[in-house]
Structure 1
Amino acid sequence: MDERMNDLDRLAVLDPARDREPTPMEWTRAEAFVERVIDGSALSVARPSRRRLVVAGMAATALGAVAAVAVPALVPGATERAVASWTAQPTARTGDQVLPQAKACAANGVAGETVATAADVLLAEQRGEATLLIQRKGGTIVECLMVGEGDRAASMGLIDEAAIVVPPAGTVNLETMSSFGDDDSLWSNIVGLAAPDVTAVEVRLDNGTTVQASVKAGWWAAWWPGAEGGEVDTLSVIVHAGSRTTTHRPSDLP
Structure 2
Amino acid sequence: MDERMNDLDRLAVLDPARDREPSPMEWARAEAFVERVISGSAESVTRPPMRRWLFAGAAATALGAVAAVAVPALVPGATERAVASWTAQPTARTGDQVLPQAQACAANGVAGETVAKASDVLLAEQRGEATLLIQRKGGTIVECLMVGDGDGAASMSLIDEAAIVAPQAGTVNLETMSSYGDGDDQWSNIVGLAAPDVTAVEVRLDNGTLVKASVKGGWWAAWWPGAEGGEVDTLSVIVHAGSAATTHRPSSLP
TM-score above 0.5, yes or no: yes
Structure 1 residue aligned with 2:198? 198
Structure 2 residue aligned with 1:63? 64
Structure 1 residue aligned with 2:75? 75
Is the counterpart of residue 114 in structure 1 residue 152 in structure 2? Answer: no
3-state SS of paired residue (1:115): coil
In structure 2, do the counterparts of structure 1 residues 25 and 236 end up closer, same or farther at CA, with 3 Å as the change threshold? farther
Structure 2 residue aligned with 1:217? 217
Counterpart Cα distance in 2 of 1:48 and 1:141: 10
Deviation at 1:101, TM superposition (A): 0.2
Q: Deviations over 1:70-104 (max 9, x none)?
A: 33422110010000000000000000000000000
Deviation at 1:54, TM superposition (A): 1.9
Kindly provide the amino acid, as one letter, of the partner of residue 218 in structure 1: G
Counterpart Cα distance in 2 of 1:104 and 1:90: 21
Is the counterpart of residue 44 in structure 1 residue 34 in structure 2? Answer: yes
Structure 2 residue aligned with 1:230? 230
3-state SS of paired residue (1:44): helix
3-state SS of paired residue (1:63): coil
Q: Deviations over 1:196-248 (max 9, x none)?
A: 00000000000000000000000000000000000000000000000110000
Kindly provide the amino acid, as one letter, of the partner of residue 63 in structure 1: G
In structure 2, do the counterparts of structure 1 residues 172 and 65 end up closer, same or farther at CA, with 3 Å as the change threshold? farther
Deviation at 1:117, TM superposition (A): 0.3
In structure 2, do the counterparts of structure 1 residues 176 and 242 end up closer, same or farther at CA, with 3 Å as the change threshold? same
Structure 2 residue aligned with 1:54? 52
TM-score (norm 2): 0.80
Structure 2 residue aligned with 1:160? 160
CA RMSD of aligned residues (A): 2.6
Counterpart Cα distance in 2 of 1:208 and 1:191: 20
Structure 2 contact 46–157 (Cα < 8 Å) conserved: no
Deviation at 1:65, TM superposition (A): 6.1
Kindly provide the amino acid, as one letter, of the partner of residue 34 in structure 2: S
In structure 2, do the counterparts of structure 1 residues 69 and 62 end up closer, same or farther at CA, with 3 Å as the change threshold? farther
Counterpart Cα distance in 2 of 1:65 and 1:252: 20
Structure 2 contact 123–217 (Cα < 8 Å) conserved: yes
Kindly provide the amino acid, as one letter, of the partner of residue 226 in structure 2: G
Deviation at 1:148, TM superposition (A): 0.1
Structure 2 residue aligned with 1:13? none
Structure 1 residue aligned with 2:175? 175
Counterpart Cα distance in 1 of 2:35 and 2:53: 21
Structure 2 contact 46–159 (Cα < 8 Å) conserved: no
Kindly provide the amino acid, as one letter, of the partner of residue 53 in structure 1: R
Structure 2 contact 75–153 (Cα < 8 Å) conserved: yes
Counterpart Cα distance in 2 of 1:248 and 1:65: 25
> 5+ residue gaps in structure 1?
1-23, 30-39
Kindly provide the amino acid, as one letter, of the partner of residue 61 in structure 2: A
Structure 2 residue aligned with 1:96? 96
